[in-house]
Structure 1
Amino acid sequence: MRLLPCFKSHYLAASTLFFIGGISSSVLFAADSLGQPNDDEWKFTLKNAYINRDFENPAIKDAGSWSQSASLFYTSKMRDTPLEIADKPLTIGVDASVQYAVRLSNDRHVADTVLPFDTQTKSQASDYLKHGATLKLGYDKTLLKVGELWLDLPVTSIDYSRQLLTSYWGENLKSQITDRFNVEVGRVEKVSPRNQEGFHKFAFTANGVTKYSDGLNYIDLRYQFTPTLKGEYYFGNMENLFNKHYVGLDHSWKQQNFTLNSKFKYFYAKNDGNTFNIEVQNIGLLETLKVKNHTFGLGYQEITGKSAYPIPDGFLPETYFINWNTTGFFKKDERSYHFIYGYDFKDYVPGLNAMVKYVYGNHFKATNGSKNMESESDIIVNYAFQQPYLKGLSLQYIRIDYGIKTGNDFGEDRFFINYSKKF
């Protein structure tokens, strides 16, 4: 069973997997059963991000920016205290983060979802700063965190796809009940979106109406049924906005020459209170076949119910979706199909891999009531330098082409230079 999540900042792998849909990067350091490192860890990262979205409609301003960030993350090991229960000590630890980014490009006076944007002055911020800290208390195979949280769950995932990272503020308790069964419960009071400083209340907007929530209460259960089959159930109550249920199954079939991974995902959301008319389901299937250096993927996702699937404000991606892309594909009644092909060039150019993805969505309507359809094509190229003196340096290029029958087409380029150093 996948261990309960700890913070991950491997930008290269995570950004690629963000586009695959619902797959998380691996833990990059030795850790205990609750994802805590065996030694104190400092991680310093640099990220140079160029993002440009070019709309075909000349009446819409192109969006984007060029920025540079420097971030430092500290994760402590758990240290014994003098207090003991049943001959087992209580443990304590602290985590902390500082993220800073500066704009290198001219102000385009348009919101680009990367940098903070002042709607009154219509200006992009020249720089911005995010920081947080976490107190950790542990006992045996149970861990309590209070403060800044890095979560890999429905509703609350980390967004690696732009510049600075999304984080959350609240409390959560993780416990490894058995070798197969993990439980996590928590209350998330605020969120620090990728393009904002500080922590803010959750919000949701529909039909021009915005409402706020005092917090998200959730429980997440994960169970390893067999060595090849694991399951997950999640329930989240976003107070005064909506409730969300998630059920997921993940099966891997490994043979000598190939590996077949199958994912089933079911989401159900319903309004909490009478402000919004929300009742919607999302059902998704994904088959991924790996043969030597090749990866093939085929996915299907269907939205059914009274509304589009609700996503909180603040550009918070639902990376658990089968078809989460730049444009989401979660409109009311939408059916979407995606196709993936990836290749690892390790036999020819170690450190180089590439992926192409195509998603087609239909069966939904435009705002004028006409039948609509949309598509997105992505090309993702990654290169991690292999030379010892360049260890930790990587490049990523993403090309996105989006088209819609009734709406605004665009092309987008993203180029990242990432550097990471652990000590």
Structure 2
Amino acid sequence: MTNFPHCGLLFLCALSFCANAAEPGFIKDASATLQARNYYFSRDFSGIVGANQQSKAEEWGQGFIFNFKSGYTPGPLGVGVDAIGLLGLKLDSSPDRTGTGLLPVQDDGRAADEYSRVGATLKMRYSKTELKVGELQTNLPILQYNDSRLLPPTYQGVSLTSAEITGLTLQAGHLSSTSLRNEAGDEKMIAMLGHLPQRQADSDAFNYAGGDYSFNANRTTASLWYGRLEDIYQQGFVGLKHSQPLGDWTLGANLGYFTAREQGDARLGDVDNRAFYSLLSAKRGGHTFSVGYQAIYGDDAFPRVFPNISPLGNEVPTYEFSYTDERSWQVRYDYDFVAMGIPGLTATVRYLKGNNVDTGLGFEGKEHERDLDLGYAVQSGLLRGLGIRLRNAMARSNYRSDIDENRVILSYTWTLL
């Protein structure tokens, strides 16, 4: 499965531009990396809820991610090009174990042997304002980047970023399609409510605008955003982050509030959601202790563009804790082993519990999850650029399928330029 439509045409134009743009800034400030990512993913299901009675999702894949970023041509209006190349290879799969999100599933129920994509972005910069057209990887509160599988997702569209005022970053954009994390082609966008994809309605436009303002020596950031999945839902967000040194400690706060309702033709019907989250932390040396509280209000679960994550404080990769009327709590502990003289080694353990879920089935939904994460990145020597991540999760619920999950991710990044 290979994609080379209009993005490929833009890529060819970009290469032609590069050939004629041998300017010092364009070449001197360019960078290129190639990452090899080996990903094993396993989920065992029990107490299965829903039409899909598959008891296990387990696959293994090898991915390659090439990223090229040019500098800018000299002059008041600088022009540059970014390019991305993605290749995913199947190492192990079976029709009774698909659905991990690592590999495309074909019409016969089998995972594709390979899938690939090439895309390019034309960028223009004037002063501290930048316009991008083409392949985009947005990372916004109302459309947060989700690189949690073999290959990263991308969007196709236009984005504008301006940082002309010190501390203030403004952004706006229009996205017309997406390339999912396990697909090669362009797709229309659909919504997800809580943990359920809404495949009965799609959209070919996501518009956004907003900004972040950092002050207080960059220890405090206030955010205000608006996003709209055309004819499905619109969403607003206000957020506040603060970091405060206090002796040997650093205290942190991350607060946010979302509102959402239907938009345009309302292809999913009425949407009524409000969500509040808080995540408070205390860091000393290599230790970071965190507690979080999250509350979902309204008649519907939290909406987002599928399969993106959100900045909700209690959203984790297995359960989202964002279903209708859900209240959830989190305790988390992180340790950075650099404090013990082992740079690059990190560990995380967290426990989350949710209740008060309106299941629509006449009983209160409850769920909990425990996660263990261990990561190591080689810091020097011949293996510098090699990283390994191990993840084990146990999630239990009385209204959705229970999950036991394991992930093993090996990655190696070559710096080419």
Interval containing the TM-score (normalised by the shorter chain): 0.7 to 0.9
Matched, 1:52 2:42: yes
Q: Once the two structures are aligned, what percentage of the paired residues are identical?
A: 30
- Alignment-derived partner of residue 115 in structure 1: 103
Q: 1:38 Cα deviation (Å)?
A: 7.2
Question: For 2:157 and 2:400, how far apart are their aligned partners in 1?
Answer: 39
Residue 242 of structure 2, aligned match among 251, 267, 278:
251
| Mapping of residues 222-241 of structure 1, within 5 Å | 222-227=212-217, 228-241=219-232
What amino acid sits opposite 2:103 in the alignment?
Answer: L
Structure 2 contact 190–305 (Cα < 8 Å) conserved: yes
Matched, 1:142 2:129: yes
Q: 1:337 Cα deviation (Å)?
A: 0.6
| Mapping of residues 240-319 of structure 1, within 5 Å | 240-273=231-264, 274-275=266-267, 276-313=269-306, 315-318=307-310
Matched, 1:41 2:41: no
Rate the CA distance shift 1:106–1:209 in 2: closer, same or farther, 3 A.
closer
What amino acid sits opposite 1:195 in the alignment?
Answer: N
Structure 1 contact 277–306 (Cα < 8 Å) conserved: no
- Alignment-derived partner of residue 406 in structure 1: 399
Deviations, residues 315-351 of structure 1 (Å, cap 9, x unaligned): 2212x11111122111000011111101112224332
Question: For 2:246 and 2:27, how far apart are their aligned partners in 1?
Answer: 32
- Alignment-derived partner of residue 176 in structure 1: 163
Deviations, residues 53-96 of structure 1 (Å, cap 9, x unaligned): 01124853300211111121001111125xxxxxxx11100000
Structure 2 contact 40–59 (Cα < 8 Å) conserved: yes
Matched, 1:390 2:383: yes
Consecutive unaligned residues of structure 2, counting only runs of 5 or more, are 1-25
Matched, 1:340 2:332: yes
Q: Please, what TM-score do these two structures have when normalized by structure 1?
A: 0.85
Structure 1 contact 155–317 (Cα < 8 Å) conserved: no
SS of residue in 1 equivalent to 2:382? helix
Question: For 1:264 and 1:92, how far apart are their aligned partners in 2?
Answer: 37
Structure 1 contact 204–210 (Cα < 8 Å) conserved: no
Tell me how many residue pairs correspond in the alignment: 378
What amino acid sits opposite 2:60 in the alignment?
Answer: W
Question: For 1:201 and 1:148, how far apart are their aligned partners in 2?
Answer: 15
Question: For 1:249 and 1:406, how far apart are their aligned partners in 2?
Answer: 33
Q: Please, what TM-score do these two structures have when normalized by structure 2?
A: 0.87
- Say what the alpha-carbon RMSD is for the aligned residues: 1.9
Matched, 1:199 2:199: no
Q: 1:37 Cα deviation (Å)?
A: 11
Structure 2 contact 324–359 (Cα < 8 Å) conserved: no
Deviations, residues 111-142 of structure 1 (Å, cap 9, x unaligned): 22221113x31111111112210000111111
Structure 2 contact 224–237 (Cα < 8 Å) conserved: yes
What amino acid sits opposite 1:212 in the alignment?
Answer: D
SS of residue in 2 equivalent to 1:240? coil
Structure 1 contact 304–334 (Cα < 8 Å) conserved: yes
Consecutive unaligned residues of structure 1, counting only runs of 5 or more, are 1-35, 82-88
Q: 1:173 Cα deviation (Å)?
A: 0.9
What amino acid sits opposite 2:99 in the alignment?
Answer: A
What amino acid sits opposite 1:97 in the alignment?
Answer: I
